[in-house]
Amino acid sequence: MLALSAGALCLAGCGAPGGGSGGSLSIDTSNATAAPGETARIEVQASSVGVMTWQLAEIPESWQVTYEDFEPEPTAVRESYPPELVWDPVADSVTGTLAVAVPDDASSGEYTVAVEAGTDASDERVVSEAMVTVE
């Protein structure tokens, strides 16, 4: 039952079966393009989210990924790698940006960032994969 094995399109727009009280947990991300030395910005939209994190599936660990302009702001950030953003109580709607700093020596290609959201009150999780293209 790994969400990562399912397609991002379904997970981005589908609520989980038998969703919890209130709205349905969902997440959607945009793709981004940047040249070496620039910053790629991935737009994130989520619903009924309590926690959010990202996985650098194909991005080298040396690349810096930071979160910017989240509305509402997380109520806490759990220090881990990568950090886990927390909303308590669960936020009905969250928007923000993940900024991927592409190093000057980055190779051209496509790199995947998996962004995961959950309610934190259950094991329910959804994932959206964003593609970072380095030109």
8 Å CB contact between 125 and 55 = no
Buried b (16+ CB within 10 A) or exposed e, 66-91: ebeebeeebeeeeeeeebbbbbeebb
**Residue 47 included in any domain:** yes
Domain that holds residue 87: 26-134
Domain count, the chain: 1
8 Å CB contact between 36 and 69 = no
Cα→Cα distances 56→8, 9, 20, 28, 100, Å: 15, 19, 28, 16, 10
Give the span between the Cα atoms of 51 and 90, in whole angstroms. 8
Confidence of residue 102 (pLDDT cuts 50, 70, 90): very high
Which residue did the predictor score with more confidence, 1 or 62? 62
Q: Span 74-79, mean pLDDT?
A: 94
CATH of the domain at 100: 2.60.40.10
**Residue 11 included in any domain:** no
**Residue 14 included in any domain:** no
Threshold 0.85, pTM exceeds: no
**Residue 40 included in any domain:** yes
Residues in the chain: 135
**Residue 3 included in any domain:** no
